[in-house]
């Protein structure tokens, strides 16, 4: 009987430790994703942006719903997260200070020497 109780306690302890490690790892990953996503962007209201960006966002809202609006004053960019009214898919758009959509430059890999 003592062996059964000891075995049960051992299994319960191992299960608890595994759960704690998984929980800690998940929390750490979520914190890293949050930090990487921010990059100086702060949540703003539409009224706080300049007129050109407001008009561009309003034009995007014809076919989409606004999920999130963030602005980076240092870079002069506005990040708009939209949800399509048709298929509920998410779309992220970056706008510059003039309200024009900005495409991120593709990552250029260094050329390999033969």
Write down how long the chain is.
Answer: 114
pLDDT at 105 over 50: no
User: Cα separation of 111 and 114, whole Å?
Assistant: 9
pLDDT of 66 higher than 80: yes
Give residue 31's pLDDT band: very low, low, confident or very high (50, 70, 90): low
Q: Are 32 and 46 in contact (CB under 8 A)?
A: no
Task: Answer with the residue of higher pLDDT: 14 or 91.
Answer: 91
pTM here is: 0.56
Q: Which residue has the tokens 């914190």?
A: 31
What does pLDDT average to over the chain?
79
Distances (CA, A) of 57 to 22, 27, 32, 34, 76: 40, 33, 29, 24, 15
Q: What is the pLDDT of residue 72?
A: 87
Helix (H, G, I), strand (E, B) or coil at 62: coil
pLDDT band at 15 (very low <50, low <70, confident <90, very high): confident
């Amino acid at each position: 009987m003592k062996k059964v109780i000891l075995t049960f306690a051992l299994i319960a302890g191992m299960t608890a430790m595994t759960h704690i490690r998984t929980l800690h790892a998940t929390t750490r990953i979520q914190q890293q994703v949050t930090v990487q996503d921010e990059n100086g962007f702060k949540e703003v209201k539409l009224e706080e942006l300049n007129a050109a960006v407001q008009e561009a966002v309003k034009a995007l809202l014809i076919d989409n719903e606004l999920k999130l609006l963030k602005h980076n004053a240092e870079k002069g960019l506005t990040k708009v997260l939209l949800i399509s009214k048709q298929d509920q898919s998410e779309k992220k758009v970056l706008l510059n200070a003039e309200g024009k959509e900005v495409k991120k430059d593709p990552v250029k890999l260094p050329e390999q020497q033969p």
